[in-house]
Amino acid sequence: MLCAAYLLPGIIGHDPWKPDEGYVFGSIEEMMRNGDWVVPHVGGEPFMEKPPLFHFVAVLTASLASPWLPIHDGARLAAVVFMALTLVGVAAASRLAWGAGHGRMAILLCLSCIGLLDPAHMILPDLPQMAGAALALAGLCAQARDRRWSGLLFGTGAGISFLGKGLLVPGILGATVVALALGFKSWRNASMPRFLLHGLIGSAPWLLIWPAALYLRSPELFGQWFWDNNIGRFLGYSVSYLGAANEPGLFWRSIPWFLFPAWLFATMALKAVGRDSLNQPAVQIGGVFLLVAALVLSQSATLRTVYLLPLIPAVALIGSRVASSASPWLDRSLTAFGIVIAIAALIFFWSVWAALLVDATAPAWASRLQKWLPLTYPLPVQPWAIVAASLLSLFAVATITTTARQSGAGLRIWVTALALTWGLLATLWLPWIDAAKSYRQVFHSLAAAMPGDDTCVASRSLGESERAMLDYFNGLQTRREEVADVHQCLALLVQSRGGLVAAPGEPWTLAWSGARPGDTQESFQLYVRPLSPATNLLPAETRH
């Protein structure tokens, strides 16, 4: 019940949100429309940033759910699939490593990490990468227990990570196996050749089929994916035009909060095991994986905090050793913080919701929300959201009141508080947040201002998510002036950032401008120019 309370709120009921959902879903929707399972597209152009495993699963879930859900909600169900795989993998790894009863504690440790709360509910290719890491770690733990199927599980996990995001996690896993064999005698045994062979067999379909199909389709696109978006992002030579540069110290600044409080349990597990820690398979596997990942990620030229997701299963694997018997101070602290967060969430989300419902304005004491949300919004009454939020509130109160005095309940209460916080936000506030983060309203307004259905529209500085959502909501694929000849286009769509508007000058005339509600940093302007003998309308193939 706790896993369901954590995972399900926010999965359905809202449009794709920036920064990642827009362009990822855009390529999923185009895959459904054009039937191309080899080359992902965004806004009609090939988009080779990530392999398409999340796309494949999202197409399946969206197709199965299409009689009842919009395709963007159906696609988001793939996040639940990969989160379930992650939790199953980390539970299996912990049970193999520490024994019966530790699997459920590893699941709680995964869900306890603050950094997982938002990505777990998004259309995000980093989720299969994390799921693959969890399954691969379970394969390594199975090898430590001499299970004959361990190599197949490890290879499958590495392959899922590869087809989900790229070379990063498979490379870390490969380096982990080498380091384990070099550093610990127990890993240099007669069963290792079988493990490695089975690992290659298990990973081969994931590693070979799609890259081979891509190369046969277009060696140029294969090069963009392999060299620019994998090797180039790590070494840095493609960061200047692909973005996501690694800020100095970002990795080390993010670890303490992203993995909190799971890293505290992992530290205590090392202390509890004591001098025997290096002889424990879980410590060997999880510790080496974390060390290799820290070395790779801290030195990568590209880094975002979401890249830390694969570290969660490794930390949970180590920390599950003491998760049910944590030191009293940690248990009491998590209990106290969890209760405070739960009470604050109940008061905060329900009171703001009531204020919006009564007079369509957030209360004055919540004015800081204007940084993210418009303070004035006519919140609609959604009975299903009220029922869901009420059930979630009752579940959280019941869980906390019945377990608060139990020894070792701090972790469960902490996860319950996180689930309650996210769940109330994703039910009571969902229309409000969606109005601020969705492009539906602003792009429908743009459609009404278009000079004609067959007008060629050029674009300037239009981001990937914006191009994808413009295609999804309006059926409009612009010609980007950065990559195409646009001199014949009669309309120009400009995206401005930072509150600065760069007008294109003559002969363009401003025909429309708009922004998402409350967004003062990002806006759009549509410019038109008169038809002249030298300017012709391009065919309607620019629209569909």
What pTM value is reported for the model? 0.94
State which residues form the domain around 431. 328-437
351 and 268 co-located in one domain: no
Q: Are residues 467 and 411 in the same domain?
A: no
Note the pLDDT tens digit of each residue in 33-75: 999 999 999 999 999 999 999 999 999 999 999 999 999 999 9
Give the pLDDT confidence score for residue 532 in this predicted structure: 55
pLDDT digits (tens, 9 = 90+) for 370-413: 999 999 999 999 999 999 999 999 999 999 999 888 878 999 99
Domain count for the chain? 3
d(CA 439, CA 452): 21
Q: Give the CA distances from residue 269 to residues 179, 275, 292, 376, in Å, rounded to whole numbers and listed in that order.
A: 22, 12, 20, 49
From the list 418, 401, 266, 409, the residue with the least C-alpha distance to 325 is 409
Residue 21 lies in a domain: yes
Helix (H, G, I), strand (E, B) or coil at 68: coil
On whether both 33 and 44 belong to a single domain, the answer is yes
Tell whether 8 is covered by a domain.
Answer: no
Give yes or no: residues 51 and 195 share one domain. Answer: yes
pLDDT at 538: 40
Is there a domain that residue 7 lies in? no
Is the same domain home to 422 and 446? no
pLDDT given at position 544: 37
DSSP state, 516?
-
Residues 416 and 528 in one domain: no
* 235 lies in the same domain as 258: yes
In a domain, 1, yes or no: no
544 residues of the chain, pLDDT tens digit each: 999 999 999 999 999 998 899 999 999 999 999 999 999 999 999 999 999 999 999 999 999 999 999 999 999 999 999 999 999 999 999 999 999 999 999 999 999 999 999 999 999 999 999 999 999 999 999 999 999 999 999 999 999 999 999 999 999 999 999 999 999 999 999 999 999 999 999 999 999 999 999 999 999 999 999 999 999 999 999 888 777 788 889 999 999 999 999 999 999 999 888 778 888 999 999 999 999 999 999 999 999 999 999 999 999 999 999 998 878 899 999 999 999 999 999 999 999 999 999 999 999 999 999 999 999 999 999 999 999 999 999 999 999 999 888 878 999 999 999 999 999 999 999 999 999 999 999 999 999 998 877 778 999 999 999 999 999 999 999 999 888 888 888 999 999 988 777 778 778 899 999 999 888 889 999 999 886 544 444 443 443 3
Structural domain contains residue 151: yes
Burial 16-29 (b: 16+ CB within 10 A, else e): bbbebbbbbbbbbb
Cα–Cα distances (Å) from 255 to 39, 170, 281, 294, 433, in that order, read 34, 21, 23, 10, 27
Asked whether residue 71 falls in the same domain as residue 158, the answer is yes
CA-based radius of gyration for the chain: 25
For residue 303, being part of any structural domain is answered with: yes
